[in-house]
Chain A
């Protein structure tokens, strides 16, 4: 589904190239739950951004759903953001001015889903995540875990094929973190391909493959035995 071949990402200043990523090779198959791990500054987030078509590699080949990413036009990228990719962030990134219901609805509006259909999808998600009672609240009125729940609901509202999670539990305490990770695993079991970036070994355990990044390079691919 996703293939990265010899991906480099560097920033050029007048005298030198600073590599963020170097020679990354990675293949992601449908239904996988991949964890990217590594110390701060290893390039995890950059890699995730490249996979999510928010950033472009400086060199190498990236096949996104078997299509060379460098040939995807800006307009097409927006289409992929609408239909193929969902994002979850460490800081949740809900829109402060919108309530829970409206936040979840946002990507559906951009996808051009009809109003009645939107209602049904959002209602279904609220129900599934047990947050029906909170649908009229604003992000500032929710706990961190609840905010992340809403963010996940929003990310999967458009039924993406790929879910990208950047430290989804980084801002949560362990109990809430566990709840979120379990939810992600559930989504994966239902068929969603997930790539997450995390610091925590424990969270990595929820996935089925770990990529270790050190200074922009893959240290060793490692299979994870499902616990």
Chain B
């Protein structure tokens, strides 16, 4: 045993670098694998922690066109009457609210629901009363972390919070936070009777207030029977004649993307499946490469094995030695991999939009079992294969090097595959990066530098004119325009037709934006025809050039859109992100109904200007602090999805490159050993080191070239499809392929040359000495 450890340690020391790379590479792949698997497990465990999960269902409306995951509030009692086996039924609505505490206003996520909520979702009450919660309209239940945030260590029960529309609520209980793996997130709980909520959503009649409905079913009842009982409840209601009610197991909700907007968080199951596939591929390739490299390294030790055999080592002893060593290597790799995983998991938080807790997923028995399985399998394979090879042949054969180290074709094929994936990923990465750069820098028709937007909320809402006047007193504020919504965040658009002097016009997706007289000057646009708004105007609009041309108006005299007189035409500018074609827009003169200010500053004193804007609004609404945002920054955030994709691809490309390099390293090592004699002969016959390098490397260049030829069309096709989601696309230029090809070729050559160089610079007499 001691001997085996010693021999391992000495072998390691003799070839530190290649051993370190072998183990490190395997560990790195394992680390990424552990993180991805942790993520998959966490995603799959969402909502599964609810004790009722297997008897929880939600009600979904089904009609010909859509699935709507809500029911009208007034059907609540009808459902319960028809199906008494529904043990608990809770109604849920969720929204952002502004609350005020000790003179400060902030946002929180509120859910309004009934008291059954606590039973359905098994919510734990930490402080305050536990019975008849949310009975009264003024009851407020808060979560633990919200209590900490607002009240610190003070007992919050009995405290009052103020909400919009002068509503005041009393905190009656503190509950545990929803778990990380819960698809429903909230800070506050209200009871269902909230004007605050529903008027905001635009539902004024009680009959149409819509709620998500989740219930617990008596476990002895067949859910199909319950569904049959409630399916036609909506039919008597006007407009719902063809709508059926369905029930959906709650455990399916998290991965349900088909059903429309609801209060729950969702994830794409296909994404999870794709990640699982990637994890599996990484696992297989990592194991393959590791075995490949370790067997290559072990094959250099045939002489040692022979000597051991000739001095009387039994087959079993050699087996034992190799197994000890390989399990030791494997153990070290796993250990480093787990440490790596813990260290690099924070990098993935942003990417996967979820905090990855590696140490807790390691406590998962499945993961633990998988790791032990990998350990047993990989350790065994890497030890048994060379030991088997060594003990199969007799010692004299081995000493005479009659055993040819075979270099099976499969290694080459797998390596080419890895290189293909690497190349395709790098090509995709460059294309995505190029597209992100393209959309971010594309001319959008107005000058976005030094242009800010800020929302008007609370008391500032409706006081746009005053704020605007106050702002314009400052020399660094160049221009201000108030809008309802704003370019790149348009609130409404319309489709339809109208008549102008018996000529019928129709248009699809005409965006509309309420604004004032200074819109055109603030955004630095040019009026092509007609005039700007006047302060005395009523019910007039300006349209953009594209709309003007589309409607073929020819002249503006007497033209209107839905009764709003067209007074001018402005040049085209982008008001949506680059997923969308430049659209039709109608600017309405309506300086009263506005929600945002667009502010152009001189840029001479940016921090000063920002301070001026914040303070000016604070004068009107002291309780709320606003954050003005540069259009440039804001527009850039619109491509976060792509940036996240790019980041994910960076990681995959890195892993693929790592695996390819390890594979190549193994291959090169093998080939260098196999051809030691040949290299010696060639050198003695006058071959230069350069010629030997060329000879050895040319074999590998062939693999890279094949990979390149295969990956280019695949990557081109994939990227071409990816770009289709954008209305404005960058070109998939030739240089992208060239860059990726040269990069991979250079790295491959570097890796291969390291081994080839070793072989080529060896003194030939060493290679030729032993017969």
Contact = CB atoms under 8 A, between A and B. Distances in A.
Interface of A: 45, 49, 54-55, 75, 78-79, 81-83, 87, 89-91, 93-97, 106-107, 110-111, 154, 158
B682 interface: yes
B686 A111 contact: yes
Interface in B749-771: 763-765, 768-769, 771
Interface of B: 677-678, 680-688, 691, 763-765, 768-769, 771
A83 B687 CA distance: 12
Nearest to B687: A110
5 contacts: A82-B686, A89-B768, A91-B771, A93-B680, A107-B686
A110 B681 contact: no
B681 A94 contact: yes
A94 B768 CA distance: 11
Nearest to B767: A93
A78 B684 CA distance: 9
Nearest to B764: A54
Quick one: which of B680, B765, B769 has the most chain A CB within 10 A? B765
A99 B764 CA distance: 21
B684 A96 contact: no
A124 B771 CA distance: 31
A81 B763 contact: no
Contacts of B687: 78, 110
Contacts of B678: 95-97
A175 to B, nearest CB: 22
Given A93-B677, A95-B678, A97-B678, A154 B685 contact: yes
Majority secondary structure of chain B interface residues (helix, strand, loop or mixed): helix
B55 to A, nearest CB: 71
A83 B685 CA distance: 9
A129 B143 CA distance: 98
B19 to A, nearest CB: 26
Given A78-B687, A87-B684, A107-B686, 7 more contacts: A54-B763, A89-B768, A90-B771, A93-B677, A93-B681, A107-B685, A110-B687
Nearest to A75: B688
A158 B768 contact: no
B686 A158 contact: yes
A95 B688 contact: no
A49 B765 contact: yes
Nearest to A91: B771
Contact of B768 (A93, A95, A111): A93
Contacts of B680: 93
B681 A78 contact: no
Contacts of B769: 45
A43 B21 CA distance: 40
B435 to A, nearest CB: 48
B358 to A, nearest CB: 48
Given A49-B765, A110-B691, A95 B681 contact: yes
Contacts of B677: 93
A19 to B, nearest CB: 18
A78 B680 CA distance: 13
A78 B688 contact: yes
Quick one: which of A55, A89, A154, A158 has the most chain B CB within 10 A? A89
A158 B769 CA distance: 23
A89 B771 CA distance: 10
